[in-house]
Amino acid sequence: MISLPHTFHFDPTYGYTLDRLLQIEGPDEPEDFAEFWRARFERVRNLAPEPRLVRQAGGHPDYEVYDLTYPSTDGVAIGGWLLTPRHAPVQRGVVVGHGYGGREGPDFDLPVRDAALLFPCFRGLSRSRRPGISDNPAWHVLHDIDKRDRYILGGCVDDLWLAVTVLIGLFPQTLGHVGYLGLSFGGGIGALALPWDERIRIAHLNVPTFGHAPLRLSLPTLGSGEAVRVFERRHGRVLDTLRYYDAASAARHSRIPVHVAAALFDPVVAPPGQFAVYNCLPAPKKLFVLDAGHVDYLRRSEQERELRSDLDAFLAPL
């Protein structure tokens, strides 16, 4: 067990050692869990969104930078960015998901080369803000939580699948060579999306959220999970929906190589939920253990360099 100085009113390790974290099993899932998600993907896979690209003047020394918009389900317009390499032909593609804080711009230092990089902002957040959907994580995560088929996390998964459609439409040569990288919120959305979309061939999930909903409801956090805990105490029945949006349950159905960075100490996404996602993944998979997530800590820069090197090797087959 790692011990870091903190002033939180709870222990962000929750008393779990690494050995105990690696023994966490996933929750029971609804009998129609896979049927629910396969039907959702079938409704989305045949959509043909027409993206709009506007090239940014100046760009970046290594990339052409484009502002991007494309239509998603429910009439939602998704905004984001597209990067294409300046000095090499596009040979593969990567969709990159963001955390619950949203995204202010694309990342230029990802460990992938010769790749078109698509950075969608999931519905309601950053460039995809929309009237009627709060961009405050504590409210966003509750949007339509009482309606299984309308819950906003499902719409965000649609946004990801359609980002893959847009990427392959723009660069047909990337078919068979598409990966996904997701951080925190984006890691959880990725875990939900991956098993049903065979176009995604490899993935990295960094401190993924939405893992093991029954366990998460018992653990205090500072993140969106706390908003869900409060809602459950006041209204109940939240698991009627969340059982279908459990990243650990979805992970059981994955069939691609997945790299997971999971933290031992995290006040925002409880480590037991992160490790539940990893534990439920079938092989091939790889784990990178972080000292902490969502906070600064002594070895953070060192571990970020190590993680980048690890990912460089893991993503090489893409």
**68-122 pLDDT per residue, tens:** 999 999 999 999 999 999 999 999 999 999 999 999 999 999 988 899 999 999 9
Q: Specify whether the CB–CB gap between 259 and 288 falls below 8 A.
A: yes
Residues sharing a CB contact under 8 Å with residue 299, sequence separation 6 or more, in sequence order: 291
The average pLDDT across 274-290 equals 97
pLDDT exceeds cutoff 80 at 1 = no
pLDDT given at position 113: 83
Instruction: Name the more confident of 223 and 297.
Output: 297
Closest to 44 in 3D by CA, of 155, 152, 168: 155
Radius of gyration of the chain measured on its C-alpha atoms: 19
Q: Is residue 154's pLDDT more than 90?
A: yes
Mean pLDDT of all residues in 276-286: 97
Could you tell me the fold of the domain covering 33-311? Rossmann fold (3.40.50)
User: What is the C-alpha to C-alpha distance for residues 51 and 71, in angstroms, rounded to an integer?
Assistant: 7
How many angstroms separate the CA atoms of 71 and 123, rounded? 11
So what's the pLDDT on residue 20? 98
**pLDDT computed for residue 3 by the predictor:** 75
| Per-residue pLDDT, 261 | 98
In one-letter notation, the amino acid at residue 124 is G
The residue extents of the domains of the chain are: 33-311
The confidence score (pLDDT) of residue 5 equals 87
For residue 17, what pLDDT band results from cuts at 50, 70 and 90? very high
